[in-house]
Amino acid sequence: MFESHLITMLLFSVIVSILLAFLRYDTKKEIIRSALKLFAYMVGGVILFSWIMFLL
């Protein structure tokens, strides 16, 4: 399971984005929003840039 680049990256992003959100904010709404945003940036960023590297 850990050999999968995607799964390992997703797992890392989930845990780290939750931790960073709890570090930054105190209210439930802010935490959830921040975690989701951070997760999207991390995962989206890697996937997007990986294709840019492939195409360039």
Partner 1 sequence: MNKKSQQPSKKQQKEKSSIRDNVEMILEVLVYVFFINAFLLQTFGIPTSSMEDNMLIGDHLLVDKIAYSRSLGTLDGFMFPQLDMKRGLTVVFKSPPEVKRNNMSRLMYVKRVIALPGETIMVKENQVYINSNPLHEPYVSFKGNPSVPDNFPPENLSDWWPEFPLEHRYNLVETELGMAYQVPEDHYFCMGDNRNISADSRVWGPLHQDYLIGKPWRNYWSFDAPTEHYLNKNLFQRIGYTIINFFKHTRWERTLKKY
Partner 2 sequence: MNVTRLKPFFFLVLGWLMPGLGHFMQKRILKGSVFFTGILLLLVFGILMGGGLTDLYDLQPLTILAFFGSLGNGILFIIMKLSGLGAGNLKVFTYSYGLAYITAAGFLNYLVALNAYHIAKVKKNV
| Min dist. Cβ of residue 46 to partner 1 (A) | 5
Binding to partner 2 (CB under 8 A) within 12-51 occurs at 12, 15-16, 18-20, 22-23
- CA distances in angstroms from 27 to 1, 31, 33, listed in the order given: 34, 6, 10
Minimum Å gap between C-beta 42 and partner 1 is 7
CB-CB contact of 12 with 46 (8 Å): no
CB atoms near residue 3 (< 10 Å): 6
Binding site for partner 1 (CB under 8 A): 1, 3-9, 12-13, 16, 20, 42, 46-47, 49-51, 53-54, 56
